[in-house]
Amino acid sequence: MSKYSKARKGKYIPKNPGKWYYPSKIIYRSSIEQKFFTVFDLSESVINIASEKIIIPYYDVVQNKQRRYYIDLIVKYKNKNNSTEIKLIEIKSSSEAVEPKKPKRITNNYKSAVATWVTNQCKWQAATAYAKKRGWQFLVLTEKHLK
């Protein structure tokens, strides 16, 4: 387990509340999210940011039902060419962002990791299509992107 993935939750207090939609309702659900919230909050290129504002319907093949995916962040920013771009961002620990390796002996932990991976793939496919339809981009960021 990554040192960043330990369950830490709390209310994020932005340094630049004017950038945020609903700045009093920003909740981080991991230390990785908290760190990325700070990075985007302090970035001069970020114009607007919102946490869990976009909800995307998707079909979860693991649970065999329609569900709703709350995107971690939507970020509007100025790129290097000074053009405005919008990105939908999912923040995960690196261990959750890659397919689990099959062990010699199948355990319940492995089965759970595979189910999470498959569900994440369903979410990310829906988010990619949602973003593409609007001319945006969908990204999955991990603690490795913080370095």
Tell me which residue has tokens 């999955």. 140
Residue 51 belongs to some domain of the structure: yes
* Rounded distance between C-alpha atoms, residue 82 and residue 2, angstroms: 35
CATH code of residue 26: 3.40.1350
Identify the sign of the CA torsion 14, 15, 18, 24: positive
Domain that holds residue 26: 10-146
Q: What is the pLDDT along the chain (147 residues), one digit of tens a residue?
A: 444 445 689 999 999 999 999 888 899 999 999 999 999 999 999 999 999 999 999 999 999 999 999 999 999 999 999 999 999 999 999 988 999 999 899 899 999 999 999 999 999 999 999 999 999 999 999 999 997
Residue 2 belongs to some domain of the structure: no
Structurally, the chain folds into a number of domains equal to 1
Residue 5 belongs to some domain of the structure: no
Residue 4 belongs to some domain of the structure: no
CB–CB of 120/93 below 8 Å? no
Residue 1 belongs to some domain of the structure: no
Is pTM beyond 0.85 here? yes
CB–CB of 75/86 below 8 Å? yes
